Amino acid sequence: MEAMNNLIYWLDLAGVTVFAFSGVIVACHSRMDPFGMFVLGAVTGIGGGTLRDLVLGVPVFWVEAPSYLWVILATVFLSILGFHYIHRLTRAVLPVTDAFGLALFTVIGSHKALVLGHAGIVAVLMGLMTGVAGGMIRDVLAHRVPMVLRQEIYATASIVGGIVYAILFISGLNNVFSIGVALVIILSIRLTAIYWGISLPTFAWVESPTTSKKNTRANPSSSSRFKARVKMIPPELSRRRKH
């Protein structure tokens, strides 16, 4: 049990580091000062876990273990020293770092809920909250559309990974094996979506022209009427419209 707790702790620290670094990248692209870099790094690294613990009614993890705050401070400090290198990073780096943070935090959030005795569906939601909430707060503060609200396959990867981990955990399989499988699944889905540009379709309220046969016979020059309906827009067409 102690070995498992140590594994979860180090995975959690790794997730905080990766997400804090993604917050620093956004701060650099948004031309923020060192304090802004720390704020974005902190909310990305511990925001999701904070909300999770408040919902579960347990002590907030970084209050009990301030080492998480020191990790964020160290990440921001080292990033400031290497600011010129970070600022040159392409925007493709952010989704990749987010993918690793998403995978780690999804498993950590799901594991914590399951250990506390909550149902599997609650564990999946806690994993999702832990994985996406911090990034949403980061993007809102940086005046960006949150990644989870775009077409990208982001929350979907977290949900699938959370479901797999909950099933393996409830089945009583080895915890290390269950964590490894869930991490691989989340990373595979997210990184594949990034590499191949796979995204989900969108739905829009559109108006399409419709002509009544009765009115057309009576008055051939009559204008067409419009009928409003919900239409699914394929990902490739949606991207074409944006450009």
Same domain, 140 and 226: no
Paired strand residues for 152: 199
Q: What is the pTM of this model?
A: 0.84
Rg (the chain; Cα; Å): 22
Same domain, 190 and 209: no
Number of domains the chain contains: 2
| Residues 17 and 71 sit within 8 Å (Cβ to Cβ) | yes
Same domain, 111 and 88: yes
Q: 166-208 pLDDT, tens per residue?
A: 999 999 999 999 999 999 999 999 999 988 988 877 766 666 6
Q: 95-136 pLDDT, tens per residue?
A: 899 899 999 999 999 999 999 999 999 999 999 999 999 999
Same domain, 122 and 218: no
| Among 64, 148, 74, 63, CA closest to 106 | 148
Same domain, 230 and 172: no
Same domain, 98 and 166: yes
Domain assignment of residue 67, given as a range: 2-196
Same domain, 18 and 114: yes
Same domain, 50 and 137: yes
Q: How confident is the model at residue 2 (pLDDT cuts 50, 70, 90)?
A: confident
Same domain, 51 and 125: yes
Same domain, 187 and 231: no
